[in-house]
A and B are shown apart, each in its own frame.
Chain A
Amino acid sequence: MSTTATTTGDAAVQVDQLVMRYGSVTAVEQVSFNAHAGRVTVILGPNGAGKTSTIEACEGFRSVTAGSVRVLGLDPQRDRKQLNKRIGVMLQDGGIYPTARVGEVVAHYCSLYGKGVVATEVIKTVGLEHRTKSTWKKLSGGEQQRLSLALALTARPEVAFLDEPTSGVDVNGRDMIRAVIKNLASTGCAVVLATHELDEAERCADDVVIFHQAKIVANGSLESIRSQSYEIRFRSGIAFDVAALAKYLDFPIQNMGDEYVITGTADAAVIGKFSEWMSFHGADIRDLRAGAQRLEDIFRRLTTGGAQ
């Protein structure tokens, strides 16, 4: 059996038909996805959707009820000793003693991994060089998140699991964390990032896995997920026959308050036909926008209307 995922195209993280139950509660139900080297895979979903359970199964913290998880070809629980040398972890709740100083805790973790990572450089990467002597409890929420991220970097990881890395972080801090994550992926690391922040996911993700009620409701590259959700949005000051327009264009049209949405296309030819039809029927067009839906809209559609 291969123990590494070094060949091109192998997924660094392979989750197959994963089921996780705690007593009578099913946290994860038949979930499958892959995460690849050099890409940022964002696991997205509301609180309680199963993101952290899945990530913790990948990190080896939790046993799986059924299905399988492989990280770099290894079983996260059985091969934990080998795997811990190769993965970086950022816990949702830090995992740092309140009286530990920034410089000391990073140097400590550099020693634990023993990969020649220089503590001062990691601290500089996350922008905490002015806080080296500060204790964890004296750091702001954003600084605490950056220190947690720094600890993941000390592993010089092949796979990094980051749980809610931008939670509670201000705008500038987010930019920095995003840049660090992108840079990490550019070194060939497979970054698996769990978040419930849609905007963050849209800015960071190469691939997106959307969780809802313990199941995956969308899984693919950000581009492919968005491309399935093209639309044309517009307003009109004059009433028109919506059903007739939909029939003419051969695309469904939804009336959403004062806005109309032609779903499933943003094609220029369709926009041309639409303009002609509206002009012919004496209806004006205002605020015309065409393109892929925002991730937020896709997420809302998938998680309020049931799985697709």
Chain B
Amino acid sequence: MSILFAQLRSEIRVIARNAEQLLVIIGIPAALLIFFSQVDVLPTNGQTPIDFLLPGIFALAIMSTAMVSLGIATGFERSYSVLKRLGATPLGAGRLILAKSLAVVLIEILQLVVLYAIAVMLGKEADIANVALLVAAIFAGTLAFAGIGLLMAGTLRAEINLAAQNGLYLLLLLLGGVIFPLDELPEPLQNVGKLLPSGALADVLRGAITDTAAYGQTSWIVLACWAVLAPLTATKFFRWN
């Protein structure tokens, strides 16, 4: 257990020291939440802006931590041979993955609490439609995005991985119904958006937080597929060094 905690401490220290990661994890989701809840430019399907935005921002936060932050850090660790060096200690791959997963979960808890507190300050009433669904959605979303992030980190060169993670983040943000409803997109893009993990996660989070999911079961199926297939693919193709 002490080995696991030692590694967990190290993982959190690396994230805390990395200003770019902190910006992606906390800064961007909080800024988008505050900006779009105060500037009336988004179609919100009859909801208050904050009620419409919060589930999408939660999805964005999970994507930021589980995919971008984890993926970029792991890519650089691979490039600096940090993973290789740890591979010659008693840590083991299992504890390394567990420590990384726990670090992601702890950071997600922190960022979701901060974002929810901001939302309440901006006028969101402090109730969630279905807490169990919210936890399940966060769990499935974390698996899906961690799988995508690690697949890229374990197969691409660190610099390419950095650019690809940020590019994909932007793409999933724009096409995933995170900031504005999917039905505002041209129809072909709507269909793409429904199949993206960000679109599916944002939709199931809408169901869990405000009971306003647009596609319900379809989004759960899409998210579950990503949550299973992405980690399996990452496991198959990940190269440690």
Contacts and interface: CB of A to CB of B under 8 A. Distances in A.
A61 B87 contact: yes
A95 B92 CA distance: 16
Contact of A81 (B6, B7, B13, B90): B90
**Interface on chain B toward A: helix, strand, loop, or mixed SS?**
helix
Contacts of B18: 99
Contact of B84 (A61, A97, A100): A61
B45 interface: no
Nearest to A94: B81
Contacts of A112: 3, 6-7, 86, 89-91
Contact of B88 (A84, A97, A111): A84
Task: Report, as a range, how many residues of chain B touch the other chain.
Answer: 20 to 34
B131 to A, nearest CB: 36
A96 B86 CA distance: 9
B90 A111 contact: no
A85 B80 contact: no
Interface string A93-129: 1111111100010001101111000000000000000
Contacts of B241: 61
Interface residues of A, number: 26
B14 A85 contact: no
Contacts of B86: 95, 112
Interface string A64-107: 00000000000000000100110101010111111110001000
B17 interface: yes
Given A91-B84, A97-B80, A114-B2, A84 B89 contact: yes
A60 B241 CA distance: 13
Contacts of B157: none
Contacts of B87: 61
A74 to B, nearest CB: 14
Interface string B80-103: 111011111111100000000000
Contact of B3 (A93, A94, A100, A111): A111
B3 A95 contact: no
Contact of B10 (A59, A108, A113): A108
A191 interface: no
Contact of A113 (B7, B17, B90): B90
Contacts of A111: 2-3, 6
Contacts of B92: 81, 84
A89 B82 CA distance: 12
Among B81, B82, B86, B89: residue with most chain A CB under 10 A:
B89
Contacts of A85: 90
A151 B85 contact: yes
A193 to B, nearest CB: 16
Given A95-B82, A97-B82, A104-B13, A114 B3 contact: yes
Interface of B: 2-3, 6-7, 9-10, 13-14, 17-18, 76-77, 80-82, 84-92, 241
18 contacts: A60-B88, A61-B84, A61-B241, A85-B90, A87-B88, A89-B85, A93-B80, A93-B81, A94-B80, A97-B76, A104-B10, A104-B13, A108-B6, A109-B89, A111-B3, A111-B6, A114-B90, A151-B85
